[in-house]
Amino acid sequence: MKEILLLKLGEIVLKGLNRGTFEKRLMKNIAWRIRDLGEFKIYCMQSTIYVEPQGECDMSYVEERISRVFGIVSICRAAECEKNMDAIFLTATEFLKDKLESAKTFKVDAKRADKSFPKKSPEICMEIGGKLHDLYPHLSVDVKNPELLIKVEVRDRAAFVHANPRPGAGGMPVGANGRAALLLSGGIDSPVAGYMIAKRGVSLMGIHFFSYPYTSERAKQKVIELAEKVSAYTGKMYVAMVPFTKIQEEIRDKCDEDLFTLIMRRFMMRIAEKIAIKNDCKALITGESLGQVASQTMEALGVTASMCTLPVLRPVIGMDKEEIVVISRKIDTFETSILPYEDCCTVFTPKHPKTKPRLCDLEAAETALDIDALVEEAIVNTEFVEI
């Protein structure tokens, strides 16, 4: 029996003349993600991507990897057979034997993409469903909410039988909508922000600011582990590790304490933008959520990003913490995010930070600093880690 994966496309099917570009990108992403699991033939027909093994492989591993590839709405692990009713029934009984024996209710749903096939979809459902019911009399039919939904697809090349499709990651193929730089802290929010923008077809690079010796090597390793978990959805990425100690010490020594966090974040945005532009990124991504902390009031967000020319994408801006946590658990970043290793944003935290800052006050305070030299020094000493 020949097993194959049928991958159903989402909003890609709504694209016009450039649809083929999105399909090619998705197939390239799939091939890269399963490259070490065996040899596969990957092609697209009738709004479905076929992943056909060319030798022995563990299809469970293949299915698991592909479930994290953006651009796919459902994954059908199917058995291929000849286009006749006897072959379809025999394949269903062999391929779905365990499911048929354990289920209590079922339904057969058929799709006849090959219109030359002699039986129409309702006739296929009735005949296959009737025979299965005779063979497994413990099963009862439930057309609204069956425990086992058996799908029969009669396509141009062959017929396929599968059951209970697995949900895909949805979204758009990574890389189809450009590249952006994610300001990646060690917290809960920024990995979720990266995941959400990657889901819209954006490839990512990470930018992390560390302040040794105020922050430890364990804190840096924590960020690398977070990037690894995000890369399960995005594919290969790089993380720029930016030394930030000198800048923070300069701000501490020369600026008012209540402006410390805001000036620090303005430096982060300046540095991140320069690194992003050098690496062909068209936007910055942050995990900021409106009102969550003092530096994320509307006024603070305004002055923080005021010097940026690139768009600043904030996908979690309207979400509360619990909503963000739900997604972080889903993508397996939560437990790593809450490890008790400090990050540079918690260093020199003011007791009474400004929540309604004025841009003119910040610009006046920054005159005490050699901004260009500090930014350039941080960029020169930045290290890149491949994930």
% pLDDT > 70, the chain: 99
pLDDT of residue 307: 87
pLDDT, tens digit (0-9, with 9 covering 90-100), for 133-159: 999 999 999 999 999 999 999 999 899
Structure confidence at residue 214 (pLDDT) = 84
Q: Can you give the pLDDT at residue 386?
A: 96
> If you average pLDDT over every residue of the chain, what do you get?
94
Determine whether 367 is exposed, middle or buried from the number of CB atoms within 10 Å of its CB (0-12, 13-18, 19+).
Answer: exposed
Would you place residue 251 in the very low, low, confident or very high pLDDT band (cuts 50, 70, 90)?
A: very high
Q: Which residue has the higher pLDDT, 131 or 217?
A: 131
Span 177-188, mean pLDDT?
95
Q: What's the whole-number mean pLDDT along residues 94-119?
A: 96
Task: Work out the average pLDDT over 240-260.
Answer: 95
pLDDT tens for each residue of 305-314: 998 999 999 9
- What per-residue confidence (pLDDT) applies to 112? 95
d(CA 198, CA 203): 6
- Asked if residue 341 has pLDDT above 80, the reply is no
236: left (phi over 0), alpha (psi -120 to 50) or beta: beta
Can you give the pLDDT at residue 350?
77
Cα separation, 376 vs 210, in Å, equals: 16
Which has more confidence, 213 or 255? 255
Query: pLDDT tens digits for 275-322?
Result: 999 999 999 999 999 999 888 999 999 999 998 999 999 999 999 999
In terms of pTM, does the model score above 0.85?
yes
What is the band of 8 on the pLDDT scale with cuts at 50, 70, 90? very high
Average pLDDT of 45-53? 93
Confidence (pLDDT) at 309? 96
Instruction: Kindly state the average pLDDT of the residues 37-45.
Output: 95
CA nearest neighbour of 77 among 101, 103, 105, 58:
58
Contact 154, 75 (CB under 8 A): no
Residue 383: predicted pLDDT: 97
Give the contacts of 160 (CB within 8 A, at least 6 positions apart): 4, 6, 76, 78, 79, 80, 81, 151, 152, 153
Confidence of residue 217 (pLDDT cuts 50, 70, 90): confident
Q: Fill in the DSSP letter of residue 15.
A: -
| Structural domains of the chain sorted by starting position, each given as residue range(s) with its CATH number in brackets | 2-170 (3.30.2130.30), 179-386 (3.40.50.620)
Q: What is the mean pLDDT of residues 330-351?
A: 83
How far apart (Å, rounded) are the C-alpha atoms in residues 194 and 204?
7
CA-CA distance, 231 to 227, in Å (whole number)? 6
| pLDDT at position 222 | 94
- Per-residue pLDDT band at 340 (split at 50, 70, 90): confident
Tell whether the model's pLDDT for residue 352 goes beyond 90: no
Confidence class for position 240, pLDDT limits 50, 70, 90: very high
The pLDDT value recorded for residue 288 is 95
Pairing of strands 284-285, 312-313: parallel
pLDDT of residue 237: 95
